[in-house]
Amino acid sequence: MISNIVLATDGSDHAQHALDVGIDMAAKYGARLTLVHVLTHDHPPEEMKRMVEVEHMADAAPVHNSEQGGISMKLGRALRIGYQEDRDGRAIVALGEKILKAATRKASEAGVKDIETEIHSGDYANCIIDVANKLDADMIVMGRRGLSNLKGFVTGSVSHKVSQRAGCSVLTVK
């Protein structure tokens, strides 16, 4: 039985498809859904930078706790390594927060009752696997491709690493 799903999202098209599948599964099984976003290591893509500027996201306070925004975000390492020290860093955190808020809203509207969120910094695959292990997840749902740059073709994709190393089932969605 599936009772605990970890869904990794970066806002890409594949992640949106994975979100739809993960939400559908969580709603049908009455499963807990933990939405995970790993902050990008690179500078945000140009189209995301424009969105940040238009919405003035980099100037906003990017961290919310349960009482403030209804989302529990664990930024620990991200804050220690200085994501909030520069404009791109604040934009990266704000984008992650926006992605998780939209995903949470979509899951809630679809009838998912138990929704958690986590935001991390570090190796994408390791962070996703660490969350799944910590929560004793039954399944990880994620897109096959994300927003990462071409180096993924050389070093191996995040979804491939997760599927090879996770201790639970992994569903990759196109």
pTM value is 0.77
- Residue 1: predicted pLDDT: 86
Q: Render pLDDT for 109-138 as a digit per residue (tens, 0 to 9).
A: 999 999 999 999 999 999 999 999 999 999
CB 95 within 8 A of CB 49: no
For domain 4-173, which CATH number applies: 2.60.40.10, 3.40.50.300, 3.40.50.960, 3.40.50.620?
3.40.50.620
Q: Which of 30-39, 48-57, 136-145 has the lowest mean pLDDT?
A: 48-57
- Better-predicted residue by pLDDT, 106 or 54: 106
For residue 60, name the pLDDT band (cuts at 50, 70, 90).
Answer: very low
What is the residue whose two structure tokens read 């992605």? 99
Average per-residue pLDDT in the chain? Answer: 79
Residues 6 or more apart from 63 whose CB is under 8 A from it? 73, 75, 79, 93, 97
- Residue 146: predicted pLDDT: 61
